Amino acid sequence: RDRQQADIKYVSGWKQWKRASSKSLKKVLGEVKELSSYLVLWRHDIHSIEGKFGTGIQSYFSFLRFLVLLNFIIFILMFSFVTVPSIISKYGIFNSSFAKIPLKNIEPHCTVYEPSGNKGLVYFYTYLKDLLSGTGFLEVTSLFYGYYTIDTAWISIMRYNLPLAYLLATFAYLALSFIWIIKRSVAGFKQNLVHAEDQFQSYCNKVFAGWDFCITDPNAARLKHRSLLYELQTDLEEERLKQKIADRTMKEKLQIYSLRVIINIIVIAVLSGCFYSIYRATVFSQENSNVSIRHDIRTDSIWAMQYLPSIVITLANFIAPQIFSLLIRFEDYTPAFEIRLTLLRCVFVRLANIGVLLFSLWSQISYCDTDKCKACGYNYELYPCWESEVGQEMYKLMIFDFIIILAVTLFLDFPRKLLVTHCSCKPVQWCGLQEFGISDNVLEIVYGQTICWIGTFFSPLLPAIATVKYFIIFYIKKISLKHTRKPAARPFRASSSNFFFLVVLLIGLVLAFIPLGISIAHIPSSKACGPFRSFNTTWAVVPDTILGFQTGLQQVLFGIASEAFAVPFFMVICLVMFYFIALAGAHKRVVEQLREQLVMVRSDPLF
């Protein structure tokens, strides 16, 4: 420090000012960062949960906060670029106007769309049913695709291409979600890779660095002791099972493999039963409810029929995981693999159920047996605005999922808590409180988020509903954790939890790409509603927009989309990938050499 102070005397005034400014700027940025940390959503609540229940459960609530922020940003994106221009141009705000392109080469019967709005005297419970199902007065609002019928909006002197903006906003929220999830999962992946590399290192971490110093509650401390004991027991059990597997005779191997084949056949049968039930429920619901609405028949049975697919999906999501948890015990896997396989099956059944629902809807939408229907390209009689119908199904799934989460807490967890607290019967005390299972709760919100990603294209304001839903769920789960449930006896570590949550979320996002891609590129767009009425498919707006550019730019863009560009680009990408694979292999060999040298240092200090 004395030497630096002496050097300052010989530094020019400009450099002294620059150095002082740099120090002041760093200090200001540090203070701003410290102040901004107080603005983080649920900062105090999450720190309190972390202190009482450890970092494993805290990671679930942090994950929930991440989804609230993600959905809020998606809502801002869709609202700013799709909803606001439509509202501004329709009501003439800021000297704006709109234009609709006349439909060409389209049969008149394809353009008929009469939303099932409420007519005459309407009872209060009718509004409530419409609010829960997305029909009636909600069908004609900006919540659903059918509202956005503008082709071009003129805001002052600026021309706004709404169909292109709608499509680009869809791509933007999917890309934003993908990049954000990848960015957050990189740190967890690195840490998991290090832990999985060396079992002895994992053992040392548990013994010397396994304690969670955020815990302040004595009960949570005892739970952490049991958790560390369980982890060590699990490691020993896995080693014992590995030894047992190595010592198996050929007869024992045939027996266990035969049993696993039989159990997997049962699993496939359960999945097939779930998928078929959802398919039949969806077809039955759509055929009967659409016919009833067209004839203006509105009864309680019709309302229940509209919710039939959501009810069947919820039952499948509840029953199938229970069967999988029972069957996995007979397959004789290691505890860690047992948990991963069960979770994988549960993730698959939840997300595949959404896929089956959409497939059922598309089979109904695409079914045409008359020339008039084939002229439209889709079943215009049952689905004059099929995008809004799909949006309503996603809306109902999201609302029903929230109702189930709320009902389980109010009508199962609270009564069970009261029984355990005030009843001393042995069966009641033996059952005890329900555990707060992190993986089950994560699957719930990932399922809801996948519905949101798929449904946002068909219902642009669905992310706003998802934001409010997850905001309320945070407080429901917080109250449930503190008052009606107990932490799981087998908690996740925070590092593995965060990575696992994001991997499951990424699977949901990738699966959401498939139905959206089919809807955008393959299924003909509705000719009676929506911004893509003038195009055969949603994707057709892109080449139509490019044809409006200058000739040189058109050639460049079409050249990028051609095979002459795609093949060399793919080859370059492959070469870059092979380079990074070779680089990773070289780094791995260097790490192994360094480890060998560390062993030699430990065994021979003179070395």
Q: Give the start-to-end residue ranges of the domains of the chain.
A: 44-201+339-538, 211-247, 249-332
Q: Determine the Cα–Cα distance for residues 340 and 309; give it in Å rounded to an integer.
A: 29
Identify the CA nearest to 386 among candidates 529, 579, 495, 211. Answer: 529
User: Which residue reads 């000719």 in tokens?
Assistant: 527
List per-block mean pLDDT (blocks of 10 residues) for the chain, which spans 607 residues.
68 73 84 75 78 73 90 93 84 62 68 66 69 79 84 75 89 93 76 59 77 77 74 75 81 86 90 86 73 51 69 83 82 72 80 82 79 77 83 88 87 81 75 73 86 92 93 90 71 59 85 88 84 84 82 79 79 90 88 82 68
Q: Determine the pLDDT at residue 123.
A: 67
Whether the model pTM is above 0.95 = no
Q: Determine the Cα–Cα distance for residues 131 and 72; give it in Å rounded to an integer.
A: 21
431, HSE (Cβ side, Cα atoms, 13 Å): 13
Q: Determine the Cα–Cα distance for residues 74 and 169; give it in Å rounded to an integer.
A: 9
Question: Which H or E run includes 228?
Answer: helix 218-246
Residue 98 pairs with which residues in a beta bridge? 153
How open is the CA angle 41-46-49, to the nearest 5 degrees? 160
Say if residue 234 is exposed, middle or buried (CB neighbours under 10 Å; 0-12, 13-18, 19+).
Answer: middle
List CB contacts of 116: < 8 A, sequence separation 6 or more.
135, 136, 139, 293
Question: In this structure, what token pair is assigned to residue 405?
Answer: 């989460």
Q: Determine the pLDDT at residue 72.
A: 95
Identify the CA nearest to 360 among candidates 257, 282, 432. Answer: 282
Residue 434 pairs with which residues in a beta bridge? 485
Q: Determine the pLDDT at residue 464.
A: 94
Strands (E), 47-136: 96-99
Q: Report the sign of the C-alpha dihedral through residues 122, 123, 127, 129, in that order.
A: negative
Q: Determine the Cα–Cα distance for residues 1 and 384; give it in Å rounded to an integer.
A: 79
Q: Determine the pLDDT at residue 170.
A: 93
Q: Determine the pLDDT at residue 68.
A: 93
